[in-house]
Amino acid sequence: MRFGIVVFPGSNCDADCFFLIKNILSMPVEYIWHKQTDLDGFDCVILPGGFSYGDYLRTGAIARFSPIMPAIVEFAQRGGLVIGICNGFQILLETGLLPGAMLTNAHSRFICSEVYLKVENTNTPFTHLCRDRSVLKIPIAHNQGNYYIDKKGLEEINRDKQIVFRYSDKKGEVSRASNPNGSVENIAGIVNKQGNVLGMMPHPERAGERILGSEDGLFIFDSVIKWLEK
Amino acid sequence: MFVAEIYIRLKKEVADPQGLTVKSALSSLGYRNLEEVRIGKIVNIKLEAGSKKEAEREVEEMCRRLLSNPVIEEYQFKVRRE
């Protein structure tokens, strides 16, 4: 089992992901420079957070045309596990692997804080270990995390159980008060229809050790490892 | 040589937090008569093309493939010979 972390110019959470997978989870992991064109030998590919290409034009818009992207699309279509975190999520939206788009946060402020996430779907490779743990504490840090999807698309992702995480309070109560950025229906993370591509604004790689204030991010990585072991 | 001026804006039904922030700043400057402020982008492109039609076709394609995101944005452009 091998994890790959894609590095774009401007990625800045790649080392956090690498550290967590190598040192906390003791799993094989490699960086994948965005100019590479194949993903042979990888079982799970992570698009990390950051500001790829300086967020020019739109977040993720330029990274989406990096040389590695056709291989990621193909990998996803073959059923490979893909996780986009924060900017990685924005890139997956621009690529069309996930539906919707990101807008500037509702109050036009960069938000860096801990949030609680209600796990809405535990039937995914990324969340199946959350069955007895329906609320996760994981930090967010973004300026463009205001998830938007039109009405028809929203009906579709609700119907197909594609919404994986919603911003909630500590008890898992989803309300306007627990929505940090204005996202439609408090959406914090979604999967594609096949369920093998996850995009999420919160940073699970920053919640992997007690010293960081939460270990809840491990539920996601451990789910992936267990899933791949099967 | 052709020059294209491209306007990209958020769709009407999409909220514009940047516009709202600027609106409240304008209000605090004393402009009380504002109904709405919305912010877009302008992209200027100079390009070689065999004809105006060809230039327009190419600019249209650029808008579709990269310059705008059809989920949240719409675009318009004008092309003129320089």
Q: Nearest chain B Cα to A63, which residue?
A: B66
Confidence of residue A133 (pLDDT cuts 50, 70, 90): confident
Interface probe for A, chosen from B16, B37, B71, B73 (most Cβ of A below 10 Å), is B71
Q: Where are the alpha helices (DSSP H) in chain B?
A: 17-28, 52-62
pLDDT at A107: 87
State whether B71 and A150 contact (CB < 8 Å). Answer: yes
**Are the C-beta atoms of residues A35 and A127 closer than 8 Å to each other?**
no
How confident is the model over A48-104, as pLDDT tens digits? 999 999 999 999 999 999 999 999 999 999 999 999 999 999 999 999 999 999 999
Q: What are the extents of the domains in chain A?
A: 3-229
DSSP string, A9-44: TTB-SHHHHHHIIIIIS---EEEEETT----TT-SE
Residue A132 has pLDDT above 90, yes or no: no
Tell me the chain B residues in contact with residue A103 when contact means C-beta distances shorter than 8 Å: 10, 14-15, 17, 72
Domains in chain B: ranges and CATH: 2-81 (3.30.1280.10)
Chain centroid, CA A216 distance in Å: 14
Q: Which residue has the tokens 């999967």?
A: A191
Distances (CA, A) of B64 to A19, A99, B8, B77: 38, 17, 11, 12
**Are the C-beta atoms of residues A49 and A200 closer than 8 Å to each other?**
no
pTM: 0.94
Strands annotated E in chain A:
3-7, 29-33, 44-47, 81-85, 101-103, 111-119, 135-142, 146-148, 163-168, 187-191, 197-200
- Is A3-229 a CATH 3.40.50.880 domain? yes
Q: How far apart are CA B54 and CA A196, in angstroms?
A: 41
Q: How far apart are CA A156 and CA A149, in angstroms?
A: 10
Tell me the chain B residues in contact with residue A57 when contact means C-beta distances shorter than 8 Å: 66-67
ipTM of the complex: 0.87
Max CA-CA distance within chain A? Answer: 44
